[in-house]
Amino acid sequence: MPDVENYEQAVEFLFSRVNYERLSGMQYTGDDFKLDRMRELLRRLGDPQETIPAVHIAGTKGKGSTAALTAQILTAAGIRTALFTSPHISAFEERMAVGGVNPSRHELVELVRQLADVVTDLDKTPGQMSPTYFEIATALAWLYFTQCRAEITVLEVGMGGRLDATNLCRPAVSIITSISRDHTRQLGSRLDQIAWEKAGIVKSLVPVVSGVTNDPARAVIVEVCRSRSAPLFELGRDFGYRYRAATMGPGGTPGGTPNDSPVSTVDVETPGKQWKNLALPLVGEHQARNLSLAAVAVQRLQEQGWKIPDTAVAAGLALLRWPGRIEVLSRQPTVIVDAAHNWEAVAALLRTLDESFPARRRVLVFAATRDKDVLGMLRQLLPRFDSVIVTCFQNNPRHVPVEALVSMVRGLTDQPLHAAADAAAAWKLARRFASRDDLICVTGSFFIAAEMRELLVDAATSAASDDLSTSGTAPRASSGNSAATQSG
């Protein structure tokens, strides 16, 4: 068994595994998406996934936010709710929570120790049975959830759906948020191909809530649900929402603090039920869409006998925060980090900036991974910003080199362009260019959003500590384990 005596060794064991999030797309093959290995891993752990019903969520965009919204509503209803999302922002254990609480470092060590012997044995088994990083992460989550006696699990698919490690769950409700082009090397380049992979989470007789409205993807979802006798509830046909965007002017909201984020309101209407004037702490019309999916999934659970008062929707929203999703980190200038990494997500980001964040000038900080449509994202972003800074993240080897990004941008525009070797250098440049009425937007990849967010949060914490030490005021204790601070 590998040495797993402390937190650092546990994390080293996890990150040593082959996984899609850290491995070059050129080296990754379809063989790593077979479920036989995951099924055997879970069998050797006692099949923990069989003991807890799930809300299973797939989609090109919005699945993490929809998962967070659903979990927070169920938690507000008093149900002991587990949440599994990916990737994490600062620490591996952020991927899993029960009742809003992540595993402690000690608990993570014990979980990894339980798993290490099984993984080592599978490594020696013929037939490509060595578990990947994501499979191990999923299995760890199931162990944690069972040990914490979770009553229901909200699971975000890692990639695709049909052959994803999460697809061995026992769903009470399935959600498909959206279908657009992403991970085309693994899932196919046509929307119908991608939809078929994501519809792989549909189980016989299990209700499906779908936000897919574009054909031919919608037609695929309809046909798969029909063939498996799965009741289908579609956005635009069976339910809808109305979104009222809030606007934050340059310099902060009137009467608010510089770090206030705009709070929009949403109405969700389904047959026999309405939620009016829900205060949505997540910014953007696409988050209202995600909220409608979560609310309809909750309604399906109510029909199955789960005791969820309608008031839990508003109560859950009041506590929700979801880092890295059009997240306002500071004001004067406004600084936003967003994990947009495909065409649809970038389009949603730009719509939200136009709706809610007027600014004198916009500064873009951009980095991306090699397996994405980088040119497609840049074609959307560049005309909407006044200055561009390209950089790369340090926490993943799949980043596009800065020199390659410079060449791409030069081929698309002649607007001001600057290059920075890393997030810290990019931040220094952005602050030099932006005045108090401007906007700095960091986007292009979850990894640059996470890296920049950690940099800025650490700087803000350090500054606050300096202020407290000079004022003599004791800092207030806070916990990073609340469900409102989960990252995915």
pLDDT single digits (tens) 426-462: 999 999 999 999 999 999 998 999 999 989 887 766 6
Structure tokens at 146: 């069972």
Domains and CATH numbers, the chain: 7-319 (3.40.1190.10), 327-485 (3.90.190.20)
Q: Lowest-confidence range among 206-210, 253-257, 337-341? A: 253-257
Q: For helices 285-303 and 311-319, what crossing angle results, to 10°?
A: 140
Check if the beta carbon of residue 45 is closer than 8 Å to that of residue 143. yes
pLDDT single digits (tens) 165-198: 999 999 999 999 999 865 445 554 689 999 999 9
Strand partners of residue 54: 153, 171
Please state, rounded to an integer, the average pLDDT across all residues of the chain: 87
Instruction: Tell me: pLDDT of 465 over 60.
Output: no
Check if the beta carbon of residue 391 is closer than 8 Å to that of residue 361. no
pLDDT single digits (tens) 6-29: 999 999 999 888 543 344 343 445
DSSP secondary structure, 266-323, as one string = EEEEETTEEEEEEEE-S-SHHHHHHHHHHHHHHHHHHHTT----THHHHHHHHH---T
Instruction: Return the biggest CA–CA distance within the chain.
Output: 67
Check if the beta carbon of residue 221 is closer than 8 Å to that of residue 178. no
What distance in Å separates the CA atoms of residue 317 and residue 208, rounded to the nearest whole number?
23
Amino acid in position 125: T
Quickly state the pLDDT bin for 88 (edges 50, 70, 90). confident
Position 230 scores a pLDDT of: 98
Position 342 scores a pLDDT of: 87
| pLDDT: which is higher, 125 or 58 | 58
124, 161, 152, 127: which is closest to 51 by C-alpha? 152
Strand partners of residue 338: none
What distance in Å separates the CA atoms of residue 133 and residue 333, rounded to the nearest whole number?
39
Position 473 scores a pLDDT of: 43
What distance in Å separates the CA atoms of residue 392 and residue 399, rounded to the nearest whole number?
6
Length of the chain, in residues: 488
What distance in Å separates the CA atoms of residue 56 and residue 473, rounded to the nearest whole number?
46
150, 164, 165, 183: which is closest to 74 by C-alpha? 150
Check if the beta carbon of residue 20 is closer than 8 Å to that of residue 137. no
The whole-model pTM stands at: 0.83
The H or E element that residue 175 is part of is strand 170-176
pLDDT single digits (tens) 312-322: 999 999 988 78
Quickly state the pLDDT bin for 343 (edges 50, 70, 90). confident
Only one residue has tokens 């809300």, namely 55
Distance of CA 237 to the CA centre of its chain: 26
Enter the DSSP assignment of 177.
-
Enter the DSSP assignment of 276.
E
pLDDT single digits (tens) 369-422: 988 899 999 999 999 999 999 999 987 778 999 999 999 999 999 989 999 999
CA count, 13 A, side-chain hemisphere, 256: 17
Check if the beta carbon of residue 286 is closer than 8 Å to that of residue 347. no
